[in-house]
Amino acid sequence: MAVGLLDDVLLELRRHKELADKALAGLDDEAFFHGPAGHVNPIALIVKHLAGNLVSRWTDFLTTDGDKPNRDRDAEFVLTAVDTRGSLMAAWDRGWMAILDTVQGLTPADLTREITIRGEKHTVQQALLRGLDHAAYHVGQILYLARLFAPDSPWLTIAPGQSKRYRPEYLKTGK
């Protein structure tokens, strides 16, 4: 069962990254950097924050605190001159590589090991679920804003009114 959990977490992480990557690829730079309101982060900042989180949490995951001393979380919510789309997407890819490589390297025996995040103890299993939830939350934000900025773009999930068309495939694959 533990191997199944690790495989399932990897599957879901890859699925979320794929959805986000497709949404991001469909946006021009104006939409990527556009904040829809004063207190709403632009997609660029969501990308920057999630990238910073993933690198911090999942680098040396089993041996160091998930909140690395060199991480400046507050800076993840400020765009600067060095935050080009290219640099943010490179950080995004590094972050996803960190979590995917780490999860891929875990074994069922690791799931009950204890790690820390901001000094708080978690089992590896708890940290996996926390990390998956965090990534899914921000991917959802990206997908929502991408739909807002490009309403005519192709649906990345099942489009409204198309559920019956996809139901037989869903039942066949269980996904």
- pTM (two decimals): 0.91
Q: What is the DSSP string of 105-136?
A: H--GGGGG-EEEETTEEEEHHHHHHHHHHHHH
The whole-angstrom separation of Cα 132 and Cα 96 is 11
When pLDDT is averaged across residues 52-66 and rounded to a whole number, the result is: 97
Q: Which fold has domain 2-173?
A: Four Helix Bundle (Hemerythrin (Met), subunit A) (1.20.120)
| Amino acid of residue 36 | P
Q: Kindly report, residue by residue over 84-138, the tens digit of the pLDDT.
A: 999 999 999 999 999 999 999 999 999 999 999 999 999 999 999 999 999 999 9
Q: Kindly report, residue by residue over 9-51, the tens digit of the pLDDT.
A: 999 999 999 999 999 999 999 999 999 998 999 999 999 999 9
What are the residue boundaries of the structural domains of the chain, listed by start? 2-173
Q: Kindly report, residue by residue over 165-175, the tens digit of the pLDDT.
A: 776 655 566 55
